[in-house]
Amino acid sequence: MHPPDSEKPGLSRRGFLKGTGLSVAAVGLVKSATAAQEAPAAEVPTLSAAQTHEISFELNGQTTQAKVRTGHTLLETLRDQLDLTGTKLVCDQGSCGACTVHLDGKPVNSCLVFATDVAGRQITTIEGLAKNGNLHPVQAGFLHEDASQCGFCTPGMIMSCKALLDRNPSPTRDECKEAISGNICRCGTYFNIFRAVDHAATLMKGGR
């Protein structure tokens, strides 16, 4: 993806990254569309409200660029710019979990993350789970247990369930309830979801 109009080599604000603990060189650059000398007070690296900024991050294992404004959320960027519409928008305020993605391996509400904040970091969305045409065990578990009705909560549910199994291969029912407590299902598929997690746990341990 090409940076916007006036971008010239050498004008990226590398200072933005300094000391943030990002050790990668190619990933995580935030470049701004206009020259650095127009920036406000030099001492604190600042992304301007008036400009578009190019971010680079790892999305489902691939280095990915996006052009974002400071007011853009990660959710908007995934859906509207990167065409990854598996991640759903419902409440837009952290209350429903439909927008759940993994940020550096942890499940978060992508509607409550600024897009510029993911520069240099790893994002996994529902589109990143299946490998070589094979469903992830959690996805297979949802199919096996018929754990979605309208399906709108399903991508977020699956991301929360996967996060649970990543850190706890044998969750109890209560641990499962807690792990998906930030994901709301309007159709009430919860019991099938609990069974889907049990099924996925078995699959992940090599069972069938």
Ligand X SMILES: Cc1cc2nc3c(=O)[nH]c(=O)nc-3n(C[C@H](O)[C@H](O)[C@H](O)COP(=O)(O)OP(=O)(O)OC[C@H]3O[C@@H](n4cnc5c(N)ncnc54)[C@H](O)[C@@H]3O)c2cc1C
- C-alpha 12/C-alpha 100 separation (Å) is 31
Answer with the entry of other proteins, ligand FES, ligand X, none that 192 interacts with (C-beta below 5 to 8 A by kind). Answer: none
DSSP code of residue 84: -
Burial of residue 39 (number of CB atoms within 10 Å: 0-12, 13-18, 19+): middle
* Contact (CB, 8 A) for 129 and 135: yes
Binding mask 92-111 for ligand X (x = CB under 6 A): --xx----------------
Q: Which is nearer to other proteins, 9 or 40 (CB)?
A: 40
| HEC-encoded secondary structure of 131-152 | ECCECCHHHHHHHHCCCCCCCC
Q: Rg (Cα) of the chain, in Å, rounded?
A: 19
Does position 150 bind ligand FES by CB under 6 A?
Answer: yes
Q: Which is nearer to ligand X, 118 or 201 (CB)?
A: 118
* Contact (CB, 8 A) for 156 and 88: yes
Answer with the entry of other proteins, ligand FES, ligand X, none that 189 interacts with (C-beta below 5 to 8 A by kind). Answer: ligand FES
Hey, what are 62's tokens? Answer: 């691939």
Q: Which is nearer to ligand FES, 38 or 80 (CB)?
A: 80
Binding mask 105-144 for ligand X (x = CB under 6 A): ----------------------------------------
Answer with the entry of ligand FES, other proteins, ligand X, none that 90 interacts with (C-beta below 5 to 8 A by kind). Answer: ligand FES
CB-nearest residue to ligand X: 94
Using DSSP's 3-state secondary structure scheme, residue 179 falls into: helix
Hey, what are 150's tokens? Answer: 């309208």
Answer with the entry of ligand X, other proteins, ligand FES, none that 181 interacts with (C-beta below 5 to 8 A by kind). Answer: other proteins
